[in-house]
Structure 1
Amino acid sequence: MAEITAATVKELRERTGAGMMDCKKALAAKGGDMEAAIDWLRAKGLAAARGKGDRVAADGLVGVAVQGTIGAIVEVNSETDFVARNDQFQDFVRNVAQLALATGNDVEELGRAQYPGGGTVAETLTSNIATIGENQSLRRAARLEVDEGVVVSYTHNAVAPGLGKIGVLVALESGADKGGLEALGKQLAMHIAAANPLALSGEELDADLVERERGIALEKAKESGKPAEIVEKMVEGAMAKFRKENALLSQLFVMDNKTKIADVIAAEAKTLGADVTLKAYVRFQLGEGIEKKVDDFAAEVAAASGVGRAEPVA
């Protein structure tokens, strides 16, 4: 019996478009044999989209939903932007975002959730793949919640309310007037969509990323040929700049390019007459981190010949 690992379950899911739990059952039923598991899923009508699962789904939509003091965000991928404009696909993303208000960050749990009208989210997704005719995947989800205050959502490049190419949630903890908090949250969300901070504060930046940047800064500083103590100061200066530019609270507000986000929040708190804390934020950009296969012959020829080509901005 072949070993059933998370990687093999993921591969089967990508090849068939079937739900995660169904893929686990299929592999268990067939002793880990990938091809036999595919046939098992086909026999049960769970892999109607076989042959589409090996195509990269890097387009699609990001969906957001807010209910009271809870907000959720999901990314559902498709192969083309054409499908992202399909009403059936948009309804699916909209409904899944609503369901994520309860399930939170766990995509597997979200896949098992009951979908409006019958079946689970995973089963509905499989059915959509077969009827729409493109590979699709529920990639990720997140939820934010505050005890008191607001969670504000924003979508950039929106194709419909709550659906777009970039989605942002901002959680503001405060007892201030909700109208004022909503306005502040919307401005902060628009800033986050544009500036793409990597963490809330400099201390929360990923340690591996910081070390990588430090290594790059060190190599650059060494090339100057200056003494070691000067090189160290150059590195520290570069790292201070990196933290400032990539941590949300120290970024310059895109609206005026001179006021730090922390100061924007402090000023609004003073206006509202109550403390305001930016508790957390989430930013999903469609397809980030997915290597999309290029079926553009001209692009392949250009790459092979070393000719540069500008990439579109997301």
Structure 2
Amino acid sequence: MAEVTASMVKDLRDKTGAGMMDCKKALAETAGDMEAAVDWLRAKGLAAAAKKAGRTAAEGLVGVAVNGTKGAAVEVNSETDFVAKNDIFQAFVRTVTGLALDSGADAEALAAMPFPGGEGTVAEKLTANIATIGEQQSLRRTATLEVSQGTVAAYVHNAVAPGIGRIGVLVGLESAAPADVLEPLAKQLAMHVAAANPLALDETGLDPALVERERAIAREKAATSGKPAEIIEKMIEGGVRKFAQESTLVNQLFVMDGKTKVADVVAAAAKAAGTAIALKGFVRMQLGEGIEKQQSDFAAEVAAAAGL
């Protein structure tokens, strides 16, 4: 039997998009014959994944998982929301989210991790799922949040099953306060983050380019007011300040009462607990953020298929 080399496996994978282990098996089964190996993969339905790679995957699921004082969030995309109801897809998202607790905020590192059950890497399992389910899927991103002591709470909005849905949130509270104080507070804050969509924890975390954009908008608005220059400058700074307050978590009004700043809610909890509570950070991951979805003209597709 011909020796199957790593370069042969790579070449077959590039040709077909199939998983590394599947390519190795195909070459072994066909005595190293590349074309026969391609046919072997096609017969098994594994080479079909490559044909789907150009499609836009903007649906799917976000998963969140917590272990002690560390949490992880992962987004896995698919072409249609129908796949989000698939048991195979849901199990994959749930599993890789758990793995992300160890891989950190590096999607490539997560993709290279061994998938439980001896099914190759996470990337290879995903390729196999593409062939099985029949839609393009992608491991898009991952994020983690950790505190030295205290709690990390997870919340899923529009959940389709425990820990997976369309919006996943993590909130970290660092404190020596007991769990029965921290966990309900962190959960409420996570729900707030899902609803209010803050851009940063505080002003220091805001993107400077975004702040300058808001300043330019405020300047343009103020310029039409006819006010003196010194008043216009105050109007501009007021506009920027309002943007920062509305966009940063600690300055937002708590959605649970609509009148208390989040920072004050945390401070009140700390006072009641008799120990400091620090809101250390948050992660908010919404399905499909930043993905430009392709618009399908169904009538044009039918006409093209009919040769019209």
TM above 0.5: yes
How many residues end up aligned between the 2 structures? 268
Distance 1:99 1:43, change over 3 A: farther
Partner Cα distance (1:16, 1:269) in 2: 57
Distance 1:18 1:246, change over 3 A: farther
Answer yes or no: is the 8 Å Cα contact 2:18–2:50 preserved in 1. no
Aligned to 2:143: 142
Answer yes or no: is the 8 Å Cα contact 2:114–2:122 preserved in 1. yes
Partner Cα distance (1:177, 1:80) in 2: 43
Answer yes or no: is the 8 Å Cα contact 2:146–2:152 preserved in 1. yes
Q: Which amino acid aligns with 1:98?
A: G
Distance 1:192 1:18, change over 3 A: farther
Partner Cα distance (1:57, 1:253) in 2: 34
TM-score of the superposition, structure 1-length normalised?
A: 0.80
Structure with bigger gyration radius: 2
Superposition deviation, residue 51 in structure 1: 2.3
Partner Cα distance (1:221, 1:195) in 2: 27
Partner Cα distance (2:38, 2:159) in 1: 36
TM-score of the superposition, structure 2-length normalised?
A: 0.82
Q: Percent of aligned pairs with the same residue? A: 65
Report the aligned-residue RMSD. Answer: 2.3
Mapping 1:91-110, distance limit 5 Å: 91-110=91-110
Aligned to 1:312: none
Superposition deviation, residue 126 in structure 1: 0.5
Say whether 1:248 aligns with 2:244: no
Say whether 1:178 aligns with 2:175: no
Answer yes or no: is the 8 Å Cα contact 1:17–1:135 preserved in 2. no
Aligned to 2:73: 73
**Gaps (5+ residues) in structure 2?**
1-12, 22-34, 300-308
Partner Cα distance (2:197, 2:38) in 1: 42
Superposition deviation, residue 48 in structure 1: 3.3
CA deviation digits over 1:153-208, x for unaligned, max 9?
00000000000100000111001011211100000000000000000001211111
CA deviation digits over 1:44-80, x for unaligned, max 9?
9575312211111000000011111111100000011
Q: Which amino acid aligns with 1:93?
A: V
Mapping 1:1-314, distance limit 5 Å: 47-118=47-118, 119-295=120-296
Answer yes or no: is the 8 Å Cα contact 2:18–2:128 preserved in 1. no
1:165 aligns to what SS in structure 2? Answer: strand
**Gaps (5+ residues) in structure 1?**
1-11, 23-38, 299-314
CA deviation digits over 1:6-55, x for unaligned, max 9?
xxxxxx99x97668x99xxxxxxxxxxxxxxxx9x968957531221111
1:198 aligns to what SS in structure 2? Answer: coil
CA deviation digits over 1:90-143, x for unaligned, max 9?
000000000000001011000000101121000000110111000000000011
Answer yes or no: is the 8 Å Cα contact 1:169–1:189 preserved in 2. yes
Answer yes or no: is the 8 Å Cα contact 2:147–2:172 preserved in 1. yes
Deviating beyond 3 angstroms after TM superposition, the runs of 4 or more aligned structure 1 residues are 15-19, 41-48
2:111 aligns to what SS in structure 1? Answer: helix
Partner Cα distance (2:152, 2:39) in 1: 45
